[in-house]
Structure 1
Amino acid sequence: MFTVKVENTLIAHCETIVKTYNFGKRFTANGTKKQQLTGIIGQSVVMSFFNLDLVDGSGGCDNGVDLIVNNKTIDVKTMGRTTDVRKNYTNNFLKLQDYFKTEIYIFCSYHKTKRELTVCGWIDKVSFIEKRRFFPKGTIRTRTNNTTFTTFADLFEIDNCHLNDVVDIPDLKQQLNF
Structure 2
Amino acid sequence: MITITVTENILTHCKKQVEKFNFGQRKFANGTKTQQLTGIIGQSVVTNLFNKGLIDGNEGFDNGIDLVFNNKKIDIKTMGRTTTVKKNYTNNFLKAQDYFETEVYIFCSYHKLNNEVTICGWITKEDFIKKRKYFPKGSTRKRFDGTTFITFSDLYEIDNFQLNNVNSIAELKKDLNTLK
TM-score by length of 1: 0.98
Q: Which residue number corresponds to residue 68 of structure 2? A: 68
- Identity between Structure 1 and Structure 2 (%): 62
1:94 counterpart residue number: 94
Structure 1 residue 134: Cα displacement: 0.2
Q: Quote the Cα distance in structure 2 between the aligned partners of 1:107 and 1:25.
A: 20
1:7-18 matched pairs, under 5 angstroms: 7-18=7-18
Corresponding residue number in structure 2 for 1:56: 56
* CA RMSD after TM alignment: 0.9
Q: Distance in 1 between matches of 2:24 and 2:99?
A: 17
* Aligned amino acid, residue 65 of structure 2: V
1:141 aligned partner: 141
**C-alpha displacement at 1:55, in angstroms?**
0.2
The number of equivalent residue pairs is: 178
TM-fit CA distance, 1:118: 0.3
Q: Distance in 2 between matches of 1:25 and 1:131?
A: 26
**Corresponding letter in the other structure for 2:142:** T
TM-score by length of 2: 0.97
**TM-superposed deviation, 1:58:** 1.0
Deviation per residue, 1:28-53 (Å, 9 max, x gap): 10100000000000000000111012
What are structure 2's unaligned runs of at least 5 residues? none
| 1:153 matched residue in structure 2 | 153
**Partner Cα separation in structure 1 for residue 147 and residue 115 of structure 2:** 23
Q: CA deviation at 1:165?
A: 0.3
1:115 corresponds to 2:112: no
Structure 1 regions of 5+ residues with no counterpart?
Answer: none
* Alpha-carbon distance in 2 for matches of 1:167, 1:26: 32
Which letter does structure 1 place at the counterpart of 2:131?
Answer: K
